[in-house]
Structure 1
Amino acid sequence: MKTFTVAAVMLALIAAPAHAQMGGGGGKRHQGGDDKKTDQKKPEVDEKAYKAALERIPEPKEKYDPWGVARPAEPAKKSK
């Protein structure tokens, strides 16, 4: 009987973290019991304004090198 009790406790301890990760969709109980949903208005994207803003971005003079600080810009010359 003692072995069964220890096994049941071990199983409960193993299952508890997995249960906590599932979320459970607690509903109103976890959100303070508020029945009304808040509607957050999302700003509408104006395609013309977006494209105009992209056109105002200046073109870079040099090509961007994200690894520029990790390696030298010019390969080292071998001297013999």
Structure 2
Amino acid sequence: MKSFTMAAVIVALIATPALAQGRRGHQQDKATEKKPQIDEKAYKAALDRIPEPKEKYDPWGITKPVDAGKKPK
């Protein structure tokens, strides 16, 4: 009888974390919340206000010396 009780306690302790993982009802409420509407006209107008760069951006420009493209004579 004592071994049966110990086995039942061990099974109950092992099954408790699995039961806790199965209860995820509160996450469904977050999924049903309304997301804000994106105004396409305002988005495109904001993109149009960004000025075009005068020069092409070179991310490696500061790592190369200015005369790197010229060959010495």
**TM-score, normalised by the number of residues in structure 1:** 0.46
Higher relative contact order (CA 8 A, sep 6+): 1
Point out the structure with the larger helix share. 2
